[in-house]
Amino acid sequence: MSRRLLSSLVSAPTLLLVGLLVYLPLSLQIPLIRAEGMYALIPKEMLAAGSWLTPHLNGAHYLDKPQLLYWLYLVAYKILGPSDWVARLVCQCLTLAEIFLAYLIGRRLFPARPAWLGGFILLSSVGFFTLHLQILTDHLVTVALAASFYFLLRWQEDPRFRWAALFHLSLVVGFFSKGFIGLLFPLLIGGLYAWQQRQPRFSRLFCSPRGLGLLLILVVPWFVGVEQANPGFLKHQIINEQIMRFLGQRQPPDVTPYSLWEFWLFAGIWLLPWTVLLPEALYRFWQETRPGGSTDSRGRLLLIWAGVVMGFFTLSASRIEYYSLPALLPLALILGWRVDRFLSETQDRSFSWALVILAFLGMANLFLVPGMEHLCAANRREFEGMFALIRPFCYQAAFLVPGLAIFGAVAGRRRPRLAVASLGALSLVLVYLTFQSLLALSPALSDKAPGEFVRAQAGPQDVLVMEYIEEFEYGASFSFYAGRPILMVQRDGLPQFPFPVPPEENYLISPDRLRELWQGPHRVFLLTDHCVPREPFLARARVALSLPGKCLLVNQ
């Protein structure tokens, strides 16, 4: 058995075990929040309707994204039953797949230690942890993207058809995850990598007749089937969801896309606490992966990968805070390479300075977090009052982060391993404090409590209504936990469907219709926010349930 294979057999399981121990117990304690509830509700409704081709959300067909993620959840629901913990379990399988692929790619480019460190940095980054406690299509498209580059590297070493077939199969998975971006990213990044490597033979990989045939055989029938079942789907998917979204002209428009500097700020936050090492790591990695450098020049793939993802969304007019997620994996591998170099260079002082910076950031978090609340609340209203809920954990961070950072900076001057161990421990402390913060925020971000209350109290004739909601997808958490469809009040044109919905599927009602229902014979449960004024006829409504930021009203 080769040393490389033996080290992989030892390192990969330990990395996955760390990921499993960190993510699974914590993720099962977080309820489905408004921004992710749709990914759990859609496959639940598909399972109930026996429909694999047309997704439905709260009873109306939903055509914004391809169905692969829904199919994964549908299969899991069919085996284990629909529940939030099953939804979380599927999400954590994707999380472990990303960590494992990070290690596999690292092993094609580096020895075992930097590859393992890259995987650990990825799983212990605040943003990777935060985003992987949420269900997002971006996890699946990141897995497909990473798989395509792993198979690309394998084909570069051994240009057999099996690697070409797996590369094109990864493109198919990427497409069925998030549409054409799942094809664009691997082909654009792979093409730039082939040009940088000066290897025209890559055209045999990208243009493999059998590989392209496999892609077309799987993609074209899906397009035809969904278009036949839902006329107008092609126009909506290609024009509105792909092109117009990139240009910032999607209809209806995203409520509040993040500005360029905010998008880059979140990208830096997502890699904390390792972000402080990133600028110097990128510079050194660029220098040492040049032809004739001390590091395999194929490592340039990581730089191209991160650069294309960040560059694409920099040029886009539609940016969401988690769109930088596919860039975290290559950046984490570069950071793993840098930490490994630090462990081998006893005179390196950059690590100590990075820890000092982290100590100052830890002390300043009490002033920085309120600014983040303002930034997030400008995009989604439920973040208002966030700092008051997580203040205790900010105080803990203000003591623990500087303590660990200063210890690592001092002890690491003579023992680099202590500096790395301190930063690793600090990263896990931040992950735990982040989890505690998310747990404290969950009553405001999730509708589990009102949904379960209604599920226990409401009768078959009772009506469930949600008030003051910007996007119709954000009602999915309430509907999922209530176990039944809901109505939503449309004010000032929001929420709005981006596609025609038949009258029998339309669950958006006017304020006048809400008044009629409220004053009618049936009992009405109304979920509304504290921060918005109530209409006069709701002024004396009975509060059935009060929660941070919102309350559940009942008319009878």
Tens-place pLDDT, residues 515-535: 999 998 999 999 998 767 788
Asked if residue 127 lies in contact with residue 266, where contact means CB atoms within 8 angstroms, the answer is: yes
Instruction: Specify the pLDDT at position 359.
Output: 87
**From the centroid of its chain, how far is CA 135?**
7
Q: Quote the percentage of the chain above a pLDDT of 90.
A: 46
Asked if residue 19 lies in contact with residue 103, where contact means CB atoms within 8 angstroms, the answer is: no
Q: Quote the percentage of the chain above a pLDDT of 70.
A: 95
Q: What are phi and psi of 348, to 5 degrees?
A: -75, 120
Pairing state between β 60-61 and 56-57: antiparallel
- What whole-number distance in Å separates Cα of residue 381 and Cα of residue 254? 14
Instruction: Specify the pLDDT at position 4.
Output: 52
Helix (H, G, I), strand (E, B) or coil at 296: coil
For residue 485, pLDDT beyond 90: yes
Q: Residue 164's closest CA among 109, 209, 105, 102?
A: 209
- What whole-number distance in Å separates Cα of residue 322 and Cα of residue 541? 38
Confidence label for 337 from pLDDT (cuts 50, 70 and 90):
very high
pLDDT digits (tens, 9 = 90+) for 34-59: 889 999 999 999 999 888 888 889 98
Instruction: Specify the pLDDT at position 382.
Output: 65
pLDDT digits (tens, 9 = 90+) for 431-472: 999 999 889 888 888 999 999 999 999 888 999 999 888 888
Confidence label for 350 from pLDDT (cuts 50, 70 and 90):
confident
Residues in Cβ contact with 54 at an 8 Å cutoff, skipping those fewer than 6 apart: 61, 226, 229, 230
Which tokens belong to 348?
């390196």
Pairing state between β 524-529 and 508-509: unpaired
Average pLDDT over residues 416-436: 90
The pLDDT mean for the chain works out to 87
Instruction: Specify the pLDDT at position 228.
Output: 84
Average pLDDT over residues 422-427: 91
Lowest mean pLDDT among 99-108, 375-384, 496-505: 375-384
Average pLDDT over residues 271-284: 93
- What whole-number distance in Å separates Cα of residue 236 and Cα of residue 231? 10
- What whole-number distance in Å separates Cα of residue 136 and Cα of residue 473? 13
Asked if residue 336 lies in contact with residue 350, where contact means CB atoms within 8 angstroms, the answer is: no
- What whole-number distance in Å separates Cα of residue 486 and Cα of residue 58? 7
Helical segments of 316-447, H only: 325-344, 350-377, 386-411, 416-445
- What whole-number distance in Å separates Cα of residue 543 and Cα of residue 494? 25
Q: What is the pTM of this model?
A: 0.93
Q: State how far the alpha carbon of 265 is from the alpha carbons of 139, 262, 309, 321, in Å.
A: 20, 5, 15, 9
**Helices 137-157, 300-315: inter-axial angle, 10-degree rounding:** 140
| Tokens 């929040």 sit on residue | 33
Higher per-residue confidence, 103 vs 261: 103
For residue 411, pLDDT beyond 90: no
Higher per-residue confidence, 349 vs 226: 226
- Torsion-angle region of residue 187: left (phi > 0), alpha (psi -120 to 50) or beta? alpha
- What whole-number distance in Å separates Cα of residue 467 and Cα of residue 380? 15
- What whole-number distance in Å separates Cα of residue 324 and Cα of residue 327? 6
Instruction: Specify the pLDDT at position 502.
Output: 87
Average pLDDT over residues 106-111: 93
Helix (H, G, I), strand (E, B) or coil at 522: coil
Which tokens belong to 409?
């900076």
Instruction: Specify the pLDDT at position 236.
Output: 81
- What whole-number distance in Å separates Cα of residue 365 and Cα of residue 357? 12
Average pLDDT over residues 422-438: 91
**Helices 416-445, 325-344: inter-axial angle, 10-degree rounding:** 160
- What whole-number distance in Å separates Cα of residue 525 and Cα of residue 478? 12
Confidence label for 10 from pLDDT (cuts 50, 70 and 90):
low
Instruction: Specify the pLDDT at position 2.
Output: 45
Instruction: Specify the pLDDT at position 550.
Output: 87
pLDDT digits (tens, 9 = 90+) for 216-238: 998 888 888 888 888 888 788 77
- What whole-number distance in Å separates Cα of residue 408 and Cα of residue 203? 48
Which tokens belong to 269?
């936050």
Asked if residue 277 lies in contact with residue 401, where contact means CB atoms within 8 angstroms, the answer is: no
Burial grade of 532 (CB within 10 A; 0-12, 13-18, 19 or more): exposed
Instruction: Specify the pLDDT at position 66.
Output: 85
Q: State how far the alpha carbon of 97 is from the alpha carbons of 94, 102, 454, in Å.
A: 5, 8, 37
- What whole-number distance in Å separates Cα of residue 30 and Cα of residue 80? 19
For residue 107, pLDDT beyond 90: yes
Confidence label for 1 from pLDDT (cuts 50, 70 and 90):
very low
For residue 378, pLDDT beyond 80: no
Instruction: Specify the pLDDT at position 81.
Output: 92
pLDDT digits (tens, 9 = 90+) for 148-200: 999 999 999 999 889 999 999 999 999 999 888 889 999 999 999 999 988 88
Q: State how far the alpha carbon of 479 is from the alpha carbons of 55, 60, 67, 131, 315, in Å.
A: 15, 13, 20, 22, 36
Confidence label for 396 from pLDDT (cuts 50, 70 and 90):
confident
**Helices 278-288, 300-315: inter-axial angle, 10-degree rounding:** 130
Residues in Cβ contact with 459 at an 8 Å cutoff, skipping those fewer than 6 apart: 523
For residue 252, pLDDT beyond 70: yes
Cα dihedral sign for 442, 319, 188, 156? negative
Cα dihedral sign for 292, 294, 298, 303? negative
Amino acid code (one letter) for 198: R
**From the centroid of its chain, how far is CA 492?**
29
For residue 493, pLDDT beyond 80: yes
Higher per-residue confidence, 313 vs 549: 313
Asked if residue 412 lies in contact with residue 355, where contact means CB atoms within 8 angstroms, the answer is: yes
Residues in Cβ contact with 238 at an 8 Å cutoff, skipping those fewer than 6 apart: 180
Pairing state between β 60-61 and 463-466: unpaired
Pairing state between β 508-509 and 487-489: parallel
For residue 386, pLDDT beyond 80: no
